[in-house]
Amino acid sequence: MSSAAPLAGVRVLEFTQAVLGPTAGMLLADMGADVVRVEPTPNGDPTRYLRGFGMGYYPYFNRNKKSLVVDAKDPRGLAVIERLLEGTDVLIENFAPGTMDRLGLGTALTARFPRLIYCSLKGFLPGPYEERTALDEVVQMMSGLAYMTGPRGTPLRAGASVIDEMTGVYGALGVVLALRERDRTGQGQVVKSALFETAAFVMGHHLAYSLASGEAVPPMPDRVSAWAVYHQFLTADGSPIFVGVTSDKQWLRFCAAFGYPDLASDVRLTTNNDRIRERDWLLPLLRERIGRLTLADAVAGCEAAGLPFSPVARPEDLLTDEQLRAGGSLLETTFPSGTTGPLPALPLVMDGERWGKRLDPPLLGEHTREILLAAGFSAEHVAELVEAGVVRAMPSGPPT
């Protein structure tokens, strides 16, 4: 990454776990900020030890960060954090309501550190639900997103932690805006974002549909699509492909590329609204015709017609995707476990530049000594804190 990365020189303390807070920290870190994860003694962030799908959380959302392990409940540990806050620009936290206040690290810190930008990411913004604990799946249920995703009568969580991640993105955006505001006023501020309000924002166009139509919103599997051809089709070799035809010009190109002159000339199908009216017979016909083609032939036809399309991929297919590999969108990463592999980069290009990986996800306490020494603690004092269990540090930095 270039030394001129947008947030180079911005110092961040991150008190986070799971996906929400670490996403915000990763975005800032990817854009050049010096992000320190503050983990509790003795074993650090519990996210490190999750199983199931949780196995992917720590290695993905914590690149370009450093690890400091400290007991914030010990007055000596709290003193360490307060020393670090003197040179900190941003604090990020996503713990349950009241947790940071009990540690003496709540938003009241902004009175002592007036330039500090305090980013608090919760389940809910101020209101009747403010003290509730929430998770991604909880707010997917609350917002109607799960209702929209599953078949009617079977609410279904989306297949990724989309609300956690989007809320983290909005939190990082709020931090960047607050940094810009601080440049003007010299003052920091409290930035808040929350899962439920993010989920409601994501559902906004469905709310607009309800208001515009005067009807209850049906789940996506019922497919009330704005376009007649916007569906999956099964090819002759058993591979599904999604095809979208979203304009009348695309319809003519689709018919030409796939060899359907009879459909191109059918006056019942001239406009998109015509095709929507006729889709009860049109879609079964297209399923039958496309079902005679191999996946390769269907892909070739879609490319020739310039259509939006995709074979239906599995997550692991992205590891070898030629677009991602050619465009610098995969970053070779070493997990704390020793596993290595490519993980997606920040999907952003500025002036032709991508920001890559400076640091692998940190080992537990990998940077504790480095951080404390840089903050002005003597080597003897650091050794005393390690001996007392107030901080945890690797014996001599990362292994070689």
Tell me the pLDDT tens digit for each residue of 178-225: 999 999 999 999 999 999 999 999 999 999 989 999 989 888 888 667
Residue-level pLDDT at 139: 96
Q: pTM of the predicted model, to two decimals?
A: 0.90
| Tokens, residue 43 | 């074993």
Give the SS3 label for residue 363: coil
Give the span between the Cα atoms of 329 and 320, in whole angstroms: 11
Helix/strand/coil (H/E/C) assignment for every residue in 227-251:
CCEEEEEECCCCCEEEEEECCHHHH
Find out whether 133 and 99 touch, Cβ atoms under 8 Å. no
Mean pLDDT of the 89-105 span: 96
Find out whether 245 and 304 touch, Cβ atoms under 8 Å. no
Give the span between the Cα atoms of 135 and 146, in whole angstroms: 13
pLDDT in tens, 224-241: 677 889 999 999 999 999
- Distance from chain centroid for Cα 270: 41
pLDDT at 262 over 90: yes
Residue-level pLDDT at 1: 43
What's the angle, vertex CA 166, arms to CA 214 and CA 190, rounded to 5?
110
Give the span between the Cα atoms of 25 and 12, in whole angstroms: 8
User: Containing H/E element for 312?
Assistant: none
Give the SS3 label for residue 82: helix
Residue-level pLDDT at 2: 46
Q: What are the b/e assignments for 179-211, b being 16+ CB within 10 Å?
A: beebeeeeebbbbbbbbbbbbbebbeebeeeee
Give the SS3 label for residue 232: strand
Give the span between the Cα atoms of 205 and 381, in whole angstroms: 57
Give the span between the Cα atoms of 23 and 349, in whole angstroms: 18
- List CB contacts of 248: < 8 A, sequence separation 6 or more: 270, 271, 272
**pLDDT > 70 fraction of the chain, expressed in percent and rounded:** 97
State residue 358 phi and psi, 5-degree precision.
-95, -35
Total count of residues recorded for the chain: 400
pLDDT at 53 over 80: yes
pLDDT in tens, 299-321: 999 999 999 999 999 999 999 99
Give the SS3 label for residue 379: helix
Residue-level pLDDT at 396: 59
CB atoms closer than 10 angstroms to residue 101: 12
Q: Tokens 């940077």 correspond to what residue? A: 367
> How far, CA to CA in Å, does 345 sit from each of 31, 64, 169, 330, 380?
11, 11, 14, 6, 40
Long-range contacts of 324-329 (CB under 8 A, 24+ apart): 328/354, 328/356, 329/354
Q: 4 pLDDT band (50/70/90 cuts)?
A: low
- In the chain, the domains with their CATH numbers are 11-202+327-392 (3.40.50.10540), 225-315 (3.30.1540.10)
Q: 372 pLDDT band (50/70/90 cuts)?
A: very high
Q: 333 pLDDT band (50/70/90 cuts)?
A: very high
